[in-house]
Amino acid sequence: MSRIVYVNGDYVPEEEARVSVFDRGFLFADAVYEVTTVLGGKLVDFPGHMARLARSLDELDMAHPADDATLLGIHHEMVARNGLTEGLIYLQVTRGAADRDFLYPEAAEPTLVLFTQEKPLVDTPAARAGISVITLPDRRWARRDIKTVQLLYPSMAKMAAKRAGAGDAWMVEDGKVTEGTSNNAWIVTRDGRLVTRDLSPAILAGITRAAVMRYAREAQMTVEERAFTPEEAREAAEAFVTSASTFVLPVVAIDGATLGDGRPGPVAQRLRALYIEESRKAAL
């Protein structure tokens, strides 16, 4: 069945959706994006995603295509028109279409595109069994705090992980894990502390990361924001990743080293349940 896609003010069947070949998103990856979870037909962490979108746009001197209330209305309309109960809404803003030139065009209208992806997120084989990860050098650009569509290196890294029989890759820079290819990386130390890298241009400030950190602290868990090495991760009691599309996803092996008994650990499972429960309550 054809989806209804949003393009610059219009809701159209996906076959009819069009963007210019001169769009700077296409020519220069001059575009930013957000992925918002839909659970029970409602939006999870929506204000956080819109705040990060605004920041990404500002960092690139890009025009805002609409205010938050309008964007909320468009998201709700996409949920309704596509009958979406569980899945994702992808939103992309580009600087717009202009004759090819490295310099930003003076007058281009931003392009705004949204589409939905229906998929089970709560009950998945990966969540039940956990995933294994490999480590790879982080070869992305140095402004990973901006959520741009420059995703070729993460695609290459995910392909390398797949070829190695792993579920994902954790990227390493200067001897420390930065993050997963499309998620934030966490470990649980043997004395029960949660560790995830501190925010900087080296990583994306995950909206799920922030929510999980808040819920963990409310549940009296200790969270340390600092970088860790692949060696420390391999020695950890547990590990997991967080993102809008995976929530809290247990990691059960790192570079072939099994964590614990090789099954999702109690802390990751508890945080996953907590995150899903709280997200359902707060969803818009």
Could you say which of 135, 148, 208, 279 contacts ligand PDD (CB under 6 A)?
208
Does 138 contact ligand PDD by CB under 6 A?
A: no
Q: Which 26-45 residues touch ligand PDD, going by CB under 6 A?
A: 35
Q: Which 212-251 residues touch ligand PDD, going by CB under 6 A?
A: 242-245
Could you say which of 25, 96, 130, 206 contacts ligand PDD (CB under 6 A)?
206
Q: Looking at 72-80, 110-118, 182-190, 248-256, which segment touches ligand PDD (CB under 6 A)?
A: 182-190
Does 207 contact ligand PDD by CB under 6 A?
A: yes
Does 179 contact ligand PDD by CB under 6 A?
A: yes
Does 53 contact ligand PDD by CB under 6 A?
A: no
Tell the smallest beta-carbon distance from residue 179 to ligand PDD (Å). Answer: 5
Does 116 contact ligand PDD by CB under 6 A?
A: no
Q: Looking at 105-113, 207-215, 253-261, 266-274, which segment touches ligand PDD (CB under 6 A)?
A: 207-215
Does 117 contact ligand PDD by CB under 6 A?
A: no
Alpha carbon distance 276, 206 (integer Å): 16
Alpha carbon distance 125, 208 (integer Å): 20
Tell the smallest beta-carbon distance from residue 275 to ligand PDD (Å). Answer: 10
Are the CB atoms for 216 and 223 separated by under 8 Å? yes
Q: Which is nearer to ligand PDD, 95 or 158 (CB)?
A: 158
Task: Considering the candidates 42, 147, 176, 281, report the single residue annotated as catalytic.
Answer: 147
Q: Which is nearer to ligand PDD, 94 or 242 (CB)?
A: 242
Which neighbouring-strand residues pair with 10? 7
String of contacts with ligand PDD for each residue 59-98, x by CB under 6 A:
----------------------------------------
DSSP 233: H
What are the structure tokens assigned to 100, written together? 């090819």
Alpha carbon distance 135, 82 (integer Å): 38
Report which of 246, 228, 251, 239 is spatially closest to residue 166, judged by C-alpha positions: 251
Active site residue 119: no
Are the CB atoms for 129 and 252 separated by under 8 Å? yes
Within 13 Å and on the Cβ side, how many CA atoms surround 33?
19
Alpha carbon distance 264, 201 (integer Å): 30
Q: Which is nearer to ligand PDD, 6 or 247 (CB)?
A: 247
Give me the helix-helix angle, 68-81 and 46-59, nearest 10°.
120
Q: Which is nearer to ligand PDD, 68 or 109 (CB)?
A: 68
Alpha carbon distance 56, 32 (integer Å): 7
Are the CB atoms for 132 and 253 separated by under 8 Å? yes
Report which of 61, 73, 44, 45 is spatially closest to residue 146, judged by C-alpha positions: 61
Task: List interacting residues with ligand PDD (CB under 6 A).
Answer: 35, 179, 182-184, 204, 206-209, 242-245
Q: Which residues are catalytic?
A: 147
